[in-house]
C-alpha cells in the first residue's frame, strides 16, 4: 500500500485535492442535468405517478405560444444586456482618473451591484408605477399621458432590462477598472510619443490590453441575460398576460409555481434553455482552451 502510494503520489495527489469539488459538482450540476433530461420525457405533477410520454413535452413546446414569447424575450435580453459592456467600459474610463475623492465616486457607481436584485426590482417597479411613479409622472409631464411600462406588453420587457442593466453596468465597470489598473504605462507613453490620442489611443492601445477584462465581461453578461429570473419575478410575475416571461421564469412557472407542478414540461423547458446556454458556454470554453494552449 505505502509503496504504491510513494510510487504514484504525484499522480494521485491532485485527484485527492480535486475530489471534494468534483463530488459536489457531480451531485449538484452534472447528475441533475441528466435527471432533468430524463424527467422531461415524463408527465409528472411531483406527487403522483410519473408517466412516460416520450417526446410529447417537446412536441407541445413547439406549438406553445408562451414558449415562443419567452424565447423572443430571451433574445431581446441577450442583445440589450450586452450594452452593459460598452457602457461599463465608458464609465470605467471616465472614472479612471485621479481626482480628489474618486474612490467615493467609484463606490457610488458600484453601489447598484451590491444591493440585491430584488431591491433593484422593487425600486424600478415604483419608478414605473402608474399614478405615483417618477417615470410615469415624467412621461405624463412631457406627453400629457402617462405610460405604465409594466402594464404594456410592448414595453414591459425593455423596462425590466433597463432595471437589469443598472447593476450589470456597475459590475462590468468594476471589471474594467481593475483591467485599466493593469494597462502598461510605458506602452501608453510610447503611443503618445508616436502621436496617438483619443479614439486611436483607445482602440489600438488600451482596448487590446483590456481583452481579458472584455472576455470576462461578455461571459458574465451573456450568462446573466440567459438566467434572468429575479427581476421578472419581482417586477411583473411574467405579466401582463405572460408577455414579459423569459425561459427561466416560464420553467419555474410550469414546474414549481402555485399553478404549475408540471415537472416534465418544466424540465423540457430547462433542457431547451440548457441547450441555448451550452452554445455560449462551449464557445467560451473553446476560447479559454485555445488561449491556454497557445501559451
Partner 1 sequence: MVHLKTGALALTAVLLATTAVSAQQRELKYYGDFDPIPLAAMEALIADFEAANPDIDVVFQNFDHEGYKTAIRNFLTADSPDLANWYAGNRMAPFVAAGQFQDVSDVWEANGLSDSLGSAKASMTIDGKQWGVPYTYYQWGIYFNKDAYAAAGVEVPTDWAGFVANCEKFSEVEIDCLTTGTKALWPGAGIFDYINMRTNGYEFHMDLTAGKVEWTDPRVKATFAEWAKIAPFITSNHAAIDWQDAAALLIQGKAANYVMGNFAVGVFKEGGMTNDNLGFMVFPEITPGIPRAEEAPTDTIHIPAGAKNVEDAKTFLAFVASADAQTKLNGAIGQLPTNKNATVDTSDPFLSAGFETLSTAYALAQFFDRDAPAEMAKVGMEGFQEFMVKPDRIDAILERLEKARQRIYN
Footprint of partner 1 (CB under 8 A): 45-48, 60, 65, 128-131, 148-151, 236-237, 239-242, 253, 256, 258-262
Q: Which is nearer to partner 1, 210 or 232 (CB)?
A: 232
Q: How far is the CB of 46 from partner 1 (least distance, A)?
A: 6
Q: How far is the CB of 155 from partner 1 (least distance, A)?
A: 11
Burial 76-115 (b: 16+ CB within 10 A, else e): bbbebbbbbbebbbebbbebbeeeeeeeeebeebbebbee
Q: How far is the CB of 254 from partner 1 (least distance, A)?
A: 9
Per the CB < 8 A criterion, the answer to whether 9 and 16 are in contact is no
Task: Look at residue 270 and give its three-state secondary structure.
Answer: helix
Q: Which is nearer to partner 1, 2 or 145 (CB)?
A: 145
Q: Which is nearer to partner 1, 149 or 206 (CB)?
A: 149
Q: How far is the CB of 124 from partner 1 (least distance, A)?
A: 12
Q: How far is the CB of 66 from partner 1 (least distance, A)?
A: 9
Q: Which is nearer to partner 1, 95 or 235 (CB)?
A: 235
Q: Which is nearer to partner 1, 113 or 155 (CB)?
A: 155
Q: Which is nearer to partner 1, 118 or 278 (CB)?
A: 118
Grid cell, residue 83, equals 450594452
Distance CA(11)–CA(254), nearest Å, equals 47
Q: How far is the CB of 28 from partner 1 (least distance, A)?
A: 19
Given the C-alpha cell 501559451, which residue does it identify? Answer: 295
Helices (H), the chain: 2-25, 31-39, 56-62, 65-81, 84-95, 102-114, 117-128, 134-143, 156-181, 185-193, 198-200, 207-209, 211-226, 230-235, 247-256, 263-294
Distance CA(207)–CA(185), nearest Å, equals 14
Helices (H), 97-155: 102-114, 117-128, 134-143
Amino acid at each position: 500500500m505505502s509503496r504504491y502510494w510513494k510510487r504514484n503520489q504525484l499522480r494521485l495527489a491532485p485527484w485527492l485535492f480535486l475530489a471534494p469539488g468534483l463530488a459536489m459538482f457531480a451531485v449538484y450540476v452534472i447528475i441533475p442535468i441528466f435527471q432533468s433530461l430524463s424527467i422531461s420525457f415524463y408527465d409528472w405533477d411531483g406527487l403522483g405517478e410519473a408517466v412516460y410520454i416520450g417526446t410529447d413535452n417537446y412536441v407541445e413546446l413547439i406549438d406553445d405560444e408562451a414558449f415562443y414569447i419567452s424565447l423572443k424575450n430571451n433574445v431581446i435580453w441577450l442583445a440589450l444586456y450586452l450594452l452593459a459592456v460598452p457602457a461599463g467600459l465608458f464609465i470605467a474610463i471616465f472614472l479612471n482618473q485621479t481626482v480628489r475623492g474618486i474612490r467615493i465616486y467609484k463606490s457610488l457607481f458600484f453601489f447598484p451591484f451590491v444591493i440585491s436584485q430584488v431591491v433593484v426590482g422593487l425600486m424600478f417597479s415604483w419608478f414605473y408605477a402608474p399614478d405615483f411613479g417618477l417615470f410615469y409622472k415624467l412621461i405624463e409631464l412631457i406627453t400629457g399621458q402617462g405610460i405604465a411600462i409594466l402594464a404594456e406588453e410592448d414595453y414591459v420587457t425593455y423596462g425590466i432590462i433597463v432595471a437589469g442593466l443598472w447593476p450589470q453596468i456597475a459590475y462590468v465597470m468594476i471589471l474594467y477598472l481593475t483591467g485599466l489598473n493593469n494597462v502598461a504605462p510605458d506602452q501608453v507613453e510610447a503611443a503618445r510619443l508616436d502621436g496617438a490620442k483619443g479614439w486611436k489611443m483607445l482602440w489600438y492601445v488600451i482596448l487590446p490590453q483590456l481583452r481579458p477584462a472584455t472576455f470576462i465581461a461578455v461571459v458574465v453578461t451573456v450568462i446573466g441575460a440567459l438566467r434572468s429570473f429575479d427581476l421578472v419575478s419581482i417586477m411583473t410575475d411574467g405579466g401582463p398576460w405572460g408577455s414579459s416571461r423569459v425561459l427561466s421564469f416560464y420553467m419555474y412557472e410550469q414546474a414549481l409555481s402555485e399553478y404549475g407542478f408540471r415537472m416534465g414540461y418544466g424540465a423540457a423547458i430547462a433542457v431547451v434553455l440548457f441547450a441555448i446556454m451550452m452554445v455560449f458556454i462551449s464557445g467560451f470554453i473553446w476560447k479559454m482552451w485555445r488561449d491556454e494552449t497557445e501559451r
